[in-house]
């Protein structure tokens, strides 16, 4: 569930970034890169979350890649902004920069940790042995 919430967070970020790009006259390369990153993260986490609900190992891998990328971006964005002068914003400012940073970083780290722990791997593996058909599908195919 947390994965889908993260995916919706980045999808909203992609929408907001798109609106800002359309509204601004000169399009900055950083904003386009941010839009692409948000869109990729939203797709990775949404598809990964759906596959994880279905207990598919590929879903766990996509969630790990997506949340790891999100956490990496959220840690590197302030460093790049300070050192390289790039303006890679983390989000809207809610009660100060650090609070916004934590509000964005904690779900990404929590998703990454939950996808990496052994109970998740065991849960996904136990679902791989289930039948992939609907209940009663075998009865219908004999008719």
What tens digit of pLDDT does each residue of 125-138 get?
A: 998 666 555 455 45
Please classify residue 25 by burial: count the beta carbons closer than 10 Å to its beta carbon, then call 0-12 exposed, 13-18 middle and 19+ buried: exposed
What rounded mean pLDDT belongs to the chain? 80
Identify whether the C-beta of residue 105 lies closer than 8 Å to the C-beta of residue 74. yes
Mean pLDDT of 100-113: 87
Domain limits for position 60: 2-130
Domain count, the chain: 1
Residue 99 domain-assigned (yes or no): yes
Residue 44 to residue 49: CA distance in whole angstroms: 8
**Tell me, what's the pLDDT at 119?**
94
Work out whether the CA dihedral 59, 61, 64, 69 comes out positive or negative.
negative
Residue 100 has pLDDT above 80, yes or no: no
Residue 60 to residue 68: CA distance in whole angstroms: 12
Residue 76 domain-assigned (yes or no): yes
Least confident interval from 8-12, 20-24, 81-85:
81-85
């Amino acid at each position: 569930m947390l994965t889908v919430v993260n995916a919706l967070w980045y999808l909203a970020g992609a929408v907001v970034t798109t609106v800002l790009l359309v509204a601004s006259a000169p399009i900055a390369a950083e904003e386009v890169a941010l839009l692409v990153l948000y869109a990729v993260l939203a797709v990775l986490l949404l598809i990964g979350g759906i596959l994880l609900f279905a207990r598919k190992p590929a879903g766990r891998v996509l969630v790990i890649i997506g949340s790891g990328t999100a956490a990496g971006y959220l840690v590197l964005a302030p460093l790049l902004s300070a050192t390289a002068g790039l303006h890679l914003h983390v989000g809207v400012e809610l009660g100060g920069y650090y609070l916004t940073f934590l509000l964005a970083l904690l779900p990404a780290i929590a998703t990454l940790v939950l996808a990496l722990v052994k109970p998740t791997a065991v849960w996904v593996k136990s679902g791989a042995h289930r039948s992939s058909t609907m209940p009663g599908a075998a009865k219908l195919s004999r008719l």
